[in-house]
Amino acid sequence: MRSRTPTRIALYVILALAALVFIFPFYFMIVGALQENPTTTPAGMFPTGGWTLENFASINERLPLLRALLNSVVFTAGVLLGTLTFGLSAGYAMSRLHWRGRGVLFVVMLGVQMVPFQLLMIPLYVQVAGSYGLGDTYAGMILPFFINTTAVFIFRQFFLALPEEMFEAARIDGASELRVLWAIAIPLVRPAIATVVLITFIGPWNEFLWPFLITKDASMQPLAVALANYIANIAQTVANPNGAILAGACALALPVVILFCLFQKYFTASDIGAGVKG
C-alpha cells in the first residue's frame, strides 16, 4: 500500500492539472462575459474593473433573446423526439428482429454516416423549401435531422449486448415486440439514451448553417443563428466587444453544460448479465 501511495498522488496531481486546463476556457468565457473592463487577453481576465451584466443586457437589447431561445428549444426538442423514437425502434429492429436485408441495410446506414451533412445542404434546401414549401417553418428546420443514423447505430450496439434470454422469456409470456421494447429493452439502455440525448442536443442546439439557410424570417431563427449574426454584425459596436462575444458564447453553452450535469449520473456501468440465471 505504501508503494502505491506516491503513484496515486502523482496520478491525482496529473488529473487535477488536466481538469484545470479543461476548466480554464470556461473560466475565461464566464469572467470575460461578466467583466466590465474590456480585454482580449487572458492576463486581464482577473477582474480589475468590476463585474457587470451589461454584456448580457446589450444582447437582449439588440436581438429578441427569449424568442431565439424558444426557437432553439422547439428545434432541438423536435430533433430529439424524432431521434429517440426512430432511433430506438430502428436500433431494436436491426438488432433483435430477424428479417431479410437487415445486414445490407446496416451497411447502407454506415455508408450514410460517411457523407458530410454540408454536402447535402443545397439539395435538401431545394427539396424542403422548394418542393415541400417548408421554408421559414419549424418543420423545415427539424425534418432533415429527424432520423439520426448515429443514434440508430448506438442503440443497435447496446441492444446487441443485452442477453437474448430476456427477450425470449418475454415473448414466451405473450409480450408483443413493442411491449418487449418498452418494458425490457429501453430500461436497460438508459446510458445509451443519455449518450444519444447529449450527442443529439449539441448538434441542433449549436447548428446555425441549416437554420440560417432555411429561415429568412428573423423571428424564426434559433439562438445560434441570432448570436452568430450578433457577433458578426453588432458586437463590435458596443463598449465591450470582447465581453459581448463571450456573453453570447455563455448564453449558447450554458444549456449544454446543464444538460451534461443532469445526465452524467446515467453514465454508470451495470452488470446486465446478472439478470440471466447461470
Q: Are 86 and 147 in contact (CB under 8 A)?
A: yes
* Same-domain check for residues 76 and 180: yes
> Does residue 113 share a domain with residue 35?
no
Q: Give strand pairing partners of 51.
A: 35
216 and 88 inside one domain: yes
115 and 220, same domain (yes or no): yes
Closest to 67 (Cα-Cα) out of 221, 246, 235, 206 = 221
Judgement on whether residues 212 and 182 belong to the same structural domain of the protein: yes
* 171 in the same domain as 83: yes
> pLDDT tens-digit profile of 122-133?
899 999 988 899
User: Which regions of the chain does DSSP assign to beta strands (E)?
Assistant: none
- Is the whole model's pTM more than 0.85, yes or no? no
Which residue is it, cell 448553417? 209
Q: Does 167 lie in the same domain as 34?
A: no
Task: State which residues form the domain around 31.
Answer: 4-52
Q: Are 93 and 167 within one domain?
A: yes
Q: Tell me which residue of 26, 29, 57 sits closest to 230, measured CA to CA.
A: 57
Amino acid making up residue 180: V
Which pLDDT value is given to residue 195? 86
Please indicate, yes or no, whether residues 96 and 191 belong to a single structural domain of this protein. yes
The tally of domains found in the chain comes to: 2
> Would you say residue 82 has pLDDT above 70?
yes
Cα 193–chain centre separation: 12
The one-letter code for the residue type at 4 is: R
Mean pLDDT, to the nearest integer, of 198-202? Answer: 87
Q: Judge whether residue 277 has pLDDT over 60.
A: no
- Residue 48 within a domain: yes
Percent of the chain with pLDDT over 70: 88
Task: Classify 117 as helix, strand or coil.
Answer: helix
Structure confidence at residue 49 (pLDDT): 62
Residues 69 and 194 in one domain: yes
pLDDT reading at 134 higher than 70 = yes
Query: pLDDT band for position 31 (50/70/90)?
Result: confident
Q: Secondary structure of 190-220 in the HEC alphabet?
A: HHHHHHHHHHHHHHHHHCCHHHHHHCCCHHH
Q: Any residues with CB less than 8 A from the CB of 236 and at least 6 apart, and which?
A: none
Q: What is the mean pLDDT of residues 10-36?
A: 87
Q: Is the pLDDT of residue 85 over 90?
A: yes
Other beta carbons within 10 Å of 41: 7
Whether the per-residue pLDDT at 276 is higher than 50: the answer is no
What pLDDT is stored for residue 76 in this prediction?
A: 93
pLDDT greater than 60 at residue 185: yes
Residue 132 lies in a domain: yes
Asked if residue 114 belongs to a domain, the reply is: yes
Local confidence band at 275 (pLDDT 50, 70, 90 cut-offs): very low
Measured distance CA(55)–CA(112) in Å, rounded: 42
Does any domain span residue 255? no
Does the residue 188 lie in any domain? yes
The answer to whether residue 230 is domain-embedded is: no
pLDDT digit string, tens, across residues 65-76: 788 889 999 999
**How far is residue 249's CA from residue 54's CA, in Å, rounded to a whole number?**
15
Q: pLDDT tens digit string along 162-181?
A: 888 888 888 888 888 889 98
Is 60 among the domain residues?
no
First to last CA, the chain: 36
Residue 77, pLDDT > 90, answer yes
Single-letter residue type at 23 = I
CA dist 39 and 239 (Å) reads 11
Q: Classify residue 153: in a domain, yes or no.
A: yes
Q: Are 48 and 69 contained in the same domain?
A: no
Cell of 164: 437474448
Provide the pLDDT for residue 244: 81
Q: Are residues 19 and 131 in the same domain?
A: no
Lowest mean pLDDT: which of 30-34, 40-44, 171-175, 214-218?
Answer: 40-44
Q: What is the CATH number of the domain that holds 203?
A: 1.10.3720.10
